[in-house]
Chain A
Amino acid sequence: MTAITHQPLGRKVVTKPFLVLGLFVLIAAYFILRRFLFGMGDVSNMSNGYPIGTWVVLDVVIGTAFGCGGFAIALLVYIFNRNVYHPLMRPALLGGVFGYTLGGLAVMIDLGRYWNAFNLLLPWYGQPNSVIFEVALCVMAYITVLWLEFWPVFLERMPPAFKQRFGLDKLQAFLKRYMYVLVAVGVLLPTMHQSSLGSVLLIMGSKLSPLWYTTWLPLLYLTSALAMGYGVVMLEATLVNRAFKTPSEVALFAKLSRVAAGLLIGYLALRWGDLVDRGYLELAFAGDWDGNLFLTETALFLVPIIVLLSRRRASQRWQFVGAVCLLAAGSLYRLDSYLMAVRPGNGWTYFPSAPELMITIGIVCLEIMLYLLFIKTLPVLSGNVAESRGRPS
């Protein structure tokens, strides 16, 4: 097992796409400012019937599932000791860092009384029976762990003289020595809160159609989050490979896809088995909004299973299709169970307002911008990027 070297891409940072993304971030910043000056009602369509809107569902529930790449790869590399996947670790981790950090930012925008948020950290206000309390603490802890896990990347980039002067080389050695603790915590925490994001829905009761409402929600959320973690790693690597002509990792993904497909089969088997067990199968074929959403989800989940188990998994194009469908399926599952299949009753309706959506879009754009910035300036991507360098894009 050879040591893996990481190198910054070293391309120009400010490119045309970067500026376009920046424009969306500025639009979002304008609406975020309005939200803090004039309140939530000024920019958002959330109501007492739908207190959970796109900010939480898209940026937190789906955003952190997209950020599960680090969790999923760490599980493979460190827990199941599959070192072949190690080159995927850092980019996956970086995706996790931004997925979670910006999810946390979205929560701060979404909290009506955000200035009370620090009370979460005061033990005497803690309510240990609350699922959402667990999610909040867990996500905060995981953001910290992710940044600590990522910290060696910054340290590697610093000039040795600078590190020596401030004693950072000792910190680097310390982090390297005790990284396994961080890795262990970094696998534990997402297991806790990704399943809890499903447990949150358990209080929905009859507001949520039986197609989604089941006591298995926590496990369904956990397995789909893990599968999405592998999906997002494939998607990121494929896009980076296409955009920057880095060495292809298609062969590696062909192996990884079996893991993802296995998870998805388990997920679908549990979901349908549970549906039959509870006797709600006919709801899936009722032909109404809920039933069709459910069937669409299943179809989207089936595409990656078929692609990733067939011989097509060796093709980059099909890997891409599979990863996109996997992520779309996981996202739709979350969107349905948190918003689209939720009926609070009493005539409540919800559709996000344009400013509300622009904030979500801006946060996603900021995520992509920071990702690009980091892989270009910091040693994130592994291997022989230098070989393919030389032709600035």
Chain B
Amino acid sequence: MDHLSDVDLESYEIQNPDGYEGGLGGLTRRQFLKYCTAVAATLGLSALMGIRIAEAATATTRPPVIWLSAQECTGCTESLLRAYHPTLEALILDMISLDYHEALCSGAGHQAEAYKAKSMKDNWGKFVLVVDGSIPTKDDGIYCMVAGKTILEAVKEAAEGAAAIIGIGSCASWGGIPSSNPNPTHAKPVHEVLPGKTVINIPGCPPNPYNFLSTILYLLTFGKPPALDGKNRPKFAYGRLIHENCERRPHFDAGRFALEFGDYGHRQGFCLYKIGCKGPETHANCPAIGFGDVGQGNWPVGIGHPCFGCTEQGVGFTKPIHALAEVQTYAPPTAFPAVNAPKGERVSPAAAAVVAGVAGLAVGAGAMALRHMDGGSDSSADRHDNDR
């Protein structure tokens, strides 16, 4: 299919950015509908929903999004920049109106802050608030300030007028690296500083961009968050353990493990549980959708590194990388079968003797029985020969 990179940007003319043609962002109508249907499939919705998603995504009034960055590394944004279906620019230029994002907005300084204030005022109660990074709370949150305001304040203020709040990344979802011991800034996840508000958490370090994009499109289409689990993570993405869909799972069940990096088992692609893979206690869809749009198998475990549990509070950045995971499905036995288990037995002399004995007995008995039978001449009379 034609890719955006094939378009000569110098001569490409966007007709009306807010009209239908502009809304497609350089895609043909067919490409765009295909993309929306694929998103519907990611969300586990019917293909018809793709049409509704397309309608929502090309609506003339693009829903405004305010993106606040707290104690973060911009990894979440970086990973979003590497999404290709759609690209982030297709999202922020055509589907949503990203009114404020410190790393991406073209304005700077007072101009950017003023635009944010204007947008929030104009769209009070309608905009989507996205927060990446954890919120420092020690000393009234002075460890993270933007435009003279603590991020704690900014988040609380924006949350009041937000239609929906998304915490993207592990830091915003459960604290992430900044909240690890000794947690010098008393960093907290977004939902802990916004008691009473529903915060959709998209954990991951970085999170898979498509989990975020799918959640955004769900919100646009249905006007409500997707089904969430107990930790407010969308169930379509975080409903199952990595262990359940891992391509190395058969090795776990068969007891075939890599014991150190580069050993025989590691080179053979065996299970990484014994070198600290946290897949058995981490909920995410990484094995199902992979990372980086370069094909199946491209995710940490797929390329030979144990999962470190970034989407799971109390696992990522908390447990040592090479500590054993607590298997939540069922614990493996203490002793596993050996990797080079014998593949069955060959014939033993005793067994051969038994088989030969039975065969000999059968032939002998059959022959004896035959010898005493009358052949063909007599079929009704019962001959009384003294056989035994």
Neighbouring A residues of B382 by C-beta, 8 Å: 241, 245-248, 388
Neighbouring B residues of A241 by C-beta, 8 Å: 382
Closest Cβ of chain B: how far from A246's Cβ, in Å? 8
User: Given that A349-B344, A361-B358 are known contacts, is A242 also in contact with B379, CB under 8 Å in the complex?
Assistant: no
In the complex the two chains form, is A251's CB within 8 Å of B380's CB? yes
Closest Cβ of chain A: how far from B20's Cβ, in Å? 49
- The majority secondary structure among interface residues of chain B is loop
In the complex the two chains form, is A353's CB within 8 Å of B351's CB? yes
Confirm or deny: A147 has a beta carbon within 8 angstroms of a beta carbon on chain B. Answer: no
Neighbouring B residues of A318 by C-beta, 8 Å: 375-376
Confirm or deny: B103 has a beta carbon within 8 angstroms of a beta carbon on chain A. Answer: no
In the complex, the chain A residue whose C-beta lies closest to that of B349 is A354
In the complex the two chains form, is A351's CB within 8 Å of B343's CB? no
Confirm or deny: B338 has a beta carbon within 8 angstroms of a beta carbon on chain A. Answer: no
Tell me the bound Cα distance from A45 to B346 in angstroms.
9
Tell me the bound Cα distance from A176 to B347 in angstroms.
51
In the complex the two chains form, is B343's CB within 8 Å of A347's CB? yes
Tell me the bound Cα distance from A49 to B341 in angstroms.
11
In the complex the two chains form, is B379's CB within 8 Å of A352's CB? no
Confirm or deny: A350 has a beta carbon within 8 angstroms of a beta carbon on chain B. Answer: yes
Confirm or deny: B47 has a beta carbon within 8 angstroms of a beta carbon on chain A. Answer: no
In the complex the two chains form, is A245's CB within 8 Å of B374's CB? no
Confirm or deny: B2 has a beta carbon within 8 angstroms of a beta carbon on chain A. Answer: no
Confirm or deny: A312 has a beta carbon within 8 angstroms of a beta carbon on chain B. Answer: yes
Closest Cβ of chain B: how far from A84's Cβ, in Å? 15
In the complex the two chains form, is B345's CB within 8 Å of A358's CB? no
Closest Cβ of chain B: how far from A17's Cβ, in Å? 9
Name the segment of B92-100, B147-155, B268-276, B364-372 touching the other chain.
Answer: B364-372
Neighbouring B residues of A314 by C-beta, 8 Å: 376, 379
In the complex the two chains form, is A357's CB within 8 Å of B344's CB? no
In the complex, the chain B residue whose C-beta lies closest to that of A46 is B344
* Best-surrounded residue of A50, A317, A320 (most CB of chain B within 10 A): A317
Tell me the bound Cα distance from A320 to B366 in angstroms.
9
**Which residues of chain A from 126 to 182 have any CB-CB distance to chain B below 8 Å in the complex?**
none
Q: Which of B342, B348, B369, B377 contacts A351 (CB 8 A)?
A: B348
Q: Which of A315, A320, A393 contacts B379 (CB 8 A)?
A: A315
**Which residues of chain A from 200 to 255 have any CB-CB distance to chain B below 8 Å in the complex?**
238-239, 241-242, 245-248, 250-251, 254
Q: Total number of A-B contacts with CB less than 8 angstroms?
A: 93
Tell me the bound Cα distance from A315 to B346 in angstroms.
43
In the complex the two chains form, is A316's CB within 8 Å of B354's CB? no
In the complex the two chains form, is B343's CB within 8 Å of A47's CB? yes
**Which residues of chain B from 325 to 348 have any CB-CB distance to chain A below 8 Å in the complex?**
341-348
Closest Cβ of chain B: how far from A128's Cβ, in Å? 25
Q: Which of A320, A350, A388 contacts B373 (CB 8 A)?
A: A320
In the complex the two chains form, is A239's CB within 8 Å of B369's CB? yes
Closest Cβ of chain A: how far from B23's Cβ, in Å? 48
Number of B residues whose C-beta is below 8 Å from A?
30
Closest Cβ of chain A: how far from B184's Cβ, in Å? 53
Neighbouring B residues of A251 by C-beta, 8 Å: 379-380
Confirm or deny: A302 has a beta carbon within 8 angstroms of a beta carbon on chain B. Answer: no
Confirm or deny: B110 has a beta carbon within 8 angstroms of a beta carbon on chain A. Answer: no
In the complex the two chains form, is B344's CB within 8 Å of A354's CB? no
* Best-surrounded residue of B341, B377, B380, B382 (most CB of chain A within 10 A): B382
In the complex the two chains form, is A361's CB within 8 Å of B354's CB? yes
Q: Which of A48, A250, A348 contacts B380 (CB 8 A)?
A: A250
User: Given that A321-B370, A348-B343 are known contacts, is A248 also in contact with B379, CB under 8 Å in the complex?
Assistant: yes
Tell me the bound Cα distance from A251 to B378 in angstroms.
10
**Which residues of chain A from 292 to 322 have any CB-CB distance to chain B below 8 Å in the complex?**
312, 314-318, 320-321
Neighbouring A residues of B6 by C-beta, 8 Å: none
In the complex the two chains form, is B379's CB within 8 Å of A312's CB? no
In the complex the two chains form, is B344's CB within 8 Å of A47's CB? yes
Neighbouring A residues of B73 by C-beta, 8 Å: none
In the complex the two chains form, is A353's CB within 8 Å of B348's CB? yes
Confirm or deny: B350 has a beta carbon within 8 angstroms of a beta carbon on chain A. Answer: yes
In the complex, the chain A residue whose C-beta lies closest to that of B373 is A317
Q: Which of B343, B350, B370 contacts A317 (CB 8 A)?
A: B370
Confirm or deny: A366 has a beta carbon within 8 angstroms of a beta carbon on chain B. Answer: no
Neighbouring B residues of A354 by C-beta, 8 Å: 348, 350-351, 353-354
Neighbouring A residues of B366 by C-beta, 8 Å: 320, 324
Closest Cβ of chain B: how far from A384's Cβ, in Å? 11
Closest Cβ of chain A: how far from B380's Cβ, in Å? 6
Confirm or deny: A346 has a beta carbon within 8 angstroms of a beta carbon on chain B. Answer: yes
In the complex the two chains form, is B387's CB within 8 Å of A353's CB? no
Q: Which of A47, A50, A315, A358 contacts B375 (CB 8 A)?
A: A315
In the complex the two chains form, is B355's CB within 8 Å of A357's CB? yes
Neighbouring B residues of A315 by C-beta, 8 Å: 373-377, 379
Tell me the bound Cα distance from A256 to B272 in angstroms.
65
Confirm or deny: B30 has a beta carbon within 8 angstroms of a beta carbon on chain A. Answer: no
Neighbouring B residues of A248 by C-beta, 8 Å: 379-382
Confirm or deny: B3 has a beta carbon within 8 angstroms of a beta carbon on chain A. Answer: no
**Which residues of chain A from 246 to 278 have any CB-CB distance to chain B below 8 Å in the complex?**
246-248, 250-251, 254
Closest Cβ of chain A: how far from B39's Cβ, in Å? 33
Neighbouring A residues of B348 by C-beta, 8 Å: 351, 353-354
In the complex the two chains form, is B358's CB within 8 Å of A317's CB? no
**Which residues of chain B from 299 to 347 have any CB-CB distance to chain A below 8 Å in the complex?**
341-347
User: Given that A45-B345, A353-B345, A393-B388 are known contacts, is A317 also in contact with B354, CB under 8 Å in the complex?
Assistant: no
Neighbouring B residues of A388 by C-beta, 8 Å: 382
User: Given that A45-B344, A316-B373, A350-B345 are known contacts, is A357 also in contact with B380, CB under 8 Å in the complex?
Assistant: no
Tell me the bound Cα distance from A352 to B345 in angstroms.
8
In the complex, the chain B residue whose C-beta lies closest to that of A351 is B347
Neighbouring B residues of A352 by C-beta, 8 Å: 351
Closest Cβ of chain B: how far from A193's Cβ, in Å? 27
Tell me the bound Cα distance from A25 to B376 in angstroms.
37
Q: List 23 A-B contacts (CB under 8 A).
A: A47-B343, A49-B343, A238-B373, A245-B384, A246-B382, A247-B382, A248-B381, A254-B379, A314-B376, A315-B373, A315-B374, A316-B375, A317-B373, A317-B375, A320-B366, A320-B373, A324-B366, A351-B345, A351-B346, A353-B351, A354-B350, A354-B351, A354-B354
Known contacts A320-B373, A353-B345; can you find 16 more A-B pairs with CB under 8 A? A47-B342, A49-B344, A239-B369, A248-B381, A248-B382, A314-B379, A315-B377, A317-B375, A317-B376, A318-B375, A320-B370, A324-B366, A346-B343, A357-B354, A357-B355, A388-B382
The 5 closest A-B pairs by CB, nearest first: A354-B350, A315-B376, A351-B347, A317-B373, A45-B345
